[in-house]
Amino acid sequence: MYYIVAGIVVAVVIFLPRMGLLALYQTYRAAQAREKVEDALKHLLDREQQGRYASPESLGGTLDLPRAKVMTLIEDMEEQGLLESRGNDLHLTAKGERWALHVVRAHRLWERYLADEARMPLNKIHGEAQKREHSLTEAQLNELDAALGHPTRDPHGDPIPTREGKLNRAEGMPITAWQVGDPARIVHLEDEPALAFQQILAVGLRLGQDIRIIEKTPNRYVLSDGENEYKLAPAVASNIHVAALPESEMLKREAIPLFELIHDQRGEIVILDDAVQGFTRRRFLDLGLTPGTVIYPELKNFFGDPRAYRIRGTLIALRKDQAAQIWVRAVDK
């Protein structure tokens, strides 16, 4: 009797619908297969955004799969109507492109959340977003987008696809193609290869920073933001993309960061830094931090951070890194 009961228990544990070991294993395998398809779709979309097409070889290299498994994956995706093979080129179908944009949107929104709200280090967010990007439905993705304030770019400067499936092209060009001495703004930091990205972060360069090339040789680039110099190998510097300064930059040149106001000194908000995106920007606006508004530091903090500011009759607290993103013009009381 004991063995019969034990056998029944084992059978239930293994074959129980939805919760049995077999069901859980099948769910795991299905999730793994879906992730493989979605990673392949991202690769195809990335290639098409670059003006070229993926191939079985490029797909195998990206997914780290042998050719036999790559060909099986391609056949499966063709059966699902996600791609078409034309010679050695792999083309996304309309259905495949929609799915790929959904995954890219999920990845970049997760990166935005992890950087802005979870305050995870920039060199960690890509890998974490990679794990989470496969888990959200369209409705959940729209909720996350709204909660973050509908950001348009991820923390690396890449455009975030809209819910309608529109993906704007990335701005800028590699700084290695920029003229020596001309001012520029960092609009994108390529996060792959990871080692190059870590070097860029290690020297202190960031998205939205204004820089210029002051020295350019076959062996190194020396960049300056007016206060500090940054020395990088050309291969690393090529991962920094820049664009011409926007017209709004003229406003910043006549202003100072909010944290530079002395105690009780009035300042009129001129502009919020371009680096302020997503939920943080929405929060700033909800607090009344809009151009033309008068703000001033009121209470002193023995530790210096955060600092209290008076705005529209309300006292708010801002950390120094937040106040550095709000540009003001000093005004008389």
Do the Cβ atoms of 174 and 204 come closer than 8 Å? no
| DSSP 8-state code for residue 178 | S
User: What is the predicted pLDDT for the residue at 275?
Assistant: 75
Nearest to 129 by CA among 156, 107, 158: 107
Better-predicted residue by pLDDT, 13 or 267:
267
Residue 228, CA distances (Å) to 113, 148, 259 in order: 30, 33, 19
Residue 56, CA distances (Å) to 81, 193, 244 in order: 17, 21, 38
User: What is the predicted pLDDT for the residue at 18?
Assistant: 60
The yes-or-no verdict on residue 185 having pLDDT over 50 is: yes
| 4, burial (CB in 10 Å: exposed 0-12, middle 13-18, buried 19+) | exposed
How far from chain centre, in Å, is Cα 315? 32
Q: Tell me the pLDDT of the chain averaged across its residues.
A: 88
| Domains located in the chain, CATH noted | 17-92 (1.10.10.10), 96-147 (1.10.60.10), 174-243 (2.30.30.90), 250-330 (2.30.30.90)
Residues 121-149 pLDDT 10s = 988 999 999 999 998 899 999 999 998 88
Residues whose CB is less than 8 angstroms from the CB of residue 119 and which lie 6 or more positions away in sequence, other chains included: none
Q: Which of 73-87, 156-170, 270-284 has the highest mean pLDDT?
A: 73-87
pTM of the model: 0.70
The helix (H) or strand (E) run that includes residue 101 is helix 94-116
CA 288, CA 166: separation in Å to the nearest integer?
Answer: 31
Do the Cβ atoms of 328 and 256 come closer than 8 Å? yes
Rounded average pLDDT over 190-207: 91
